A and B are shown apart, each in its own frame.
Chain A
Amino acid sequence: MGERLPLVIYFLSMVNWAQVLFNSSVTGCIYLISAVGLTLTYGLSKFPNFAHAEFMTLGAYAGYFLADQLGLGFPSAFVAAFIASGILGALSYRGIFQPLAKRGASLIHLMVAAIGLGFVIRHFVGELWGWSPRSFKVTWSAFDIGIVRVSDLWLWLIFAALAMAGLMHLLLTKTKIGKAIRGTSSNPELALASGVNINRVTLVTWLVGAALAGIAGLFRGAGTRLSPMLGWDILLPTFAVTILGGIGSFYGAIAAAFIIGLAENIGVVFLTSFGISTEYRMAIAFLILIITLILRPGGLARMFR
């Protein structure tokens, strides 16, 4: 290690930190869009929905189907991803999780059912589109802003994440349904007693959450490649964002998404400079997840009340 240190310092001084910062926000934006749905459904239905991964996968493939296979152009992919995943989320809640909860299923049963549902969707996608990776035909133009290399897909992603955050903020604070979501999440009995239709609120949350997951999956698929494992590959980082932000906390998730994005991208720089395999990129989010759960299971939520 001793003789490597000058090399490491040289390497770190050569890194384009502005680029790292930009990449971090790109990573953070995908995690944010996917985590918002997860954190809201987790807060409301009180169980981690492992099938959230497959909501992302289906969104990506639905977008691919409309945009590339039917040739309707990339903007139509957003509509397809939003609608397909949203419907899937609402159906899963109505068809599986609500009946299970009514029958008094334990937390572990709900989690196992979510995994079972995930299997069904993942292999259904695998059957329809095959297991070999696919990619969008669209090519993204890359250009330089100052010293940072960006592509228009990433600018769209950042725009979408900001728009989503703004809209969700307005939804949660200004509208009746948004206030009902927050109320039900923090105290279901009280919300029920105040005349909130909990079933409807939960259904809407599952619909919106899954639809956003679909958008996140679409961006991931457009930025890398599509495969039936697409959602699973970013599920645990999404969980890391959800847990670090505090379950059910939308504002916590925003902060956590950028913390995890930064940690991953800065971590990769350090991994390369120390000559460690970049396969460990994922392990960074995993470690943050485990450490948060063990040391501070409430996450950052207390700072965002």
Chain B
Amino acid sequence: MDPLIYILDIIVFVGIFAIVALSLNLEYGFAGLGNFGKVAFFLTGAYTYALLSQIGLPFFLCLIIAALISASIGFLISLSALRLREDYLAIVTLTFGEILRLVVKAEHWIAGGVWGITMPSAISWAGASPRMMAAANIGLVYFCLILGFILVQLVSNSPYGRVLRAIREDETAAEALGKDRFKYKAQAFMLGSGLAGLGGGLFAQYLRFIDPYMFLPTVTFSVWIMVIIGGPANNWGALLGATLVELFSRGTRILKDYLLVPIDPNNLQYILFGLLIVFILLYRPQGLLKESQVKTKALEVISRWKKHS
């Protein structure tokens, strides 16, 4: 295989999963919501994209609608689920992801069931080489990633984001200050689900083929590992985590192919992931990067004033 394509492929995947990691960071890092069914929204985005692109809609419309549909499903889930305790929310979202996967697997008429669904190439032009196609995909994915990053960064630094952090730290105190915690949580969940749907749409767009086995709960947990390694409530941390996890999973495959390690790379990868996450939770639960500080004009003035005195 062309080594340059291989590298470009890694870059695309890092970008896609960075978007999903950002969405989980918004939900878990800033709003404190334990969404263990991230893959459900990733799946919704991917299947929406696949079905719409088969009708022949242009790819950007497919992506936008994929994000919107994921966001609305996130909103519907949040109506009942967000009033639950943390562990119940985790179980409900996890189960919801499995139900959704069962549905696309059993209903062949939706998108081919177990055989999956293929879709036409979104970005193609006459005489496009595989390298140019991959480069175009990088452009599309990173355009979406930058938009998503700016959005989440703005949200987390705004007064709105500070309310989210306040609710995460102490629900009752935030409620006492007149902040409707369900409204804020539902909005964060909706935004997060929309971003995850966008990631799913890009995933389907890039692979041009999806089947239900791509949406196992392991996807959710890979994203969790990204956020926890990178550092929750830090958007740079989510990017770092996505990069590390993706490089790591490719690394174990290279290890198998070139260094002839006698362990199946897939097993090795998940054994190391599991150990890594346990060690991080034990010895560095805040992740690699610390929680990002809030930056506002008022805080700048105060810190300058502190220096003078």
Contacts and interface: CB of A to CB of B under 8 A. Distances in A.
7 contacts: A108-B32, A108-B90, A112-B277, A115-B277, A118-B274, A119-B270, A126-B267
B295 to A, nearest CB: 26
Contacts of B106: 277, 279-280
Interface stretch (A74-82, A147-155, A187-195, A283-291): A283-291
B86 A120 contact: no
A144 interface: no
Interface residues of B, number: 46
A303 to B, nearest CB: 20
Interface stretch (A29-37, A99-107, A156-164, A219-227): A99-107
B80 interface: yes
B28 interface: yes
B36 A290 contact: no
B278 A116 contact: yes
Nearest to A297: B88
Nearest to B28: A108
Contacts of B274: 116-120, 123
B273 interface: yes
Contact of A123 (B28, B88, B98, B266): B266
Interface string B193-211: 0000000000000000000
Given A111-B34, A294-B81, A103 B221 contact: no
Most buried by B among A115, A126, A283, A289: A115
A48 interface: yes
Interface in B98-145: 98-99, 102-103, 105-107
B147 interface: no
B87 interface: yes
A223 to B, nearest CB: 21
Contacts, number: 122
A138 B273 CA distance: 36
Nearest to A242: B91
A127 B267 contact: yes
B87 A111 contact: yes
B300 to A, nearest CB: 32
In the A-B complex, the 10 residue pairs with the closest CB atoms = A119-B274, A120-B274, A116-B277, A279-B106, A277-B106, A123-B267, A116-B274, A123-B270, A127-B267, A108-B34
Contacts of B88: 243, 293, 297
B275 interface: yes
A96 interface: yes
Given A99-B282, A100-B282, A112 B224 contact: yes
B146 interface: no
A165 interface: no
B96 interface: yes
